[in-house]
Structure 1
């Protein structure tokens, strides 16, 4: 999958990278096929080296998409 990543500490160092596609690791996890995402103020702080981030880190936590898989403990969210 492709992801916007901050690769090194300090200002800048942002790149669109190919990364392994994540899977369900914990019973409470939800996997979403992202259809749209946006950068926000948090991402800008991280880009400039702030917000206590420790690169490498994936940006863009504001997104929408389709739930494609749920962990065994997830009961109120369904795929689709």
Structure 2
């Protein structure tokens, strides 16, 4: 799943995003996004908006936010 698609899906469910940066000076590190939903919080590691995310990373974020993995857009064979 692409990063921009995943972020749109999360936003549609009420998530809010907070951009941070890891790796030193501003503009020189990779972006981390803190995703908040209600009282839950998790980090999403992204390299670019059109990059495909690791399915394990997507699943981790979905589970930590208490969302349903089966609601994600795309193939329904996620078992």
TM-score norm. by structure 1 comes to 0.26
User: Rg bigger for which structure?
Assistant: 1
Greater fraction strand: 1
Instruction: Name which structure has the greater RCO, CA cutoff 8 Å, separation 6+.
Output: 1
Greater fraction helix: 2
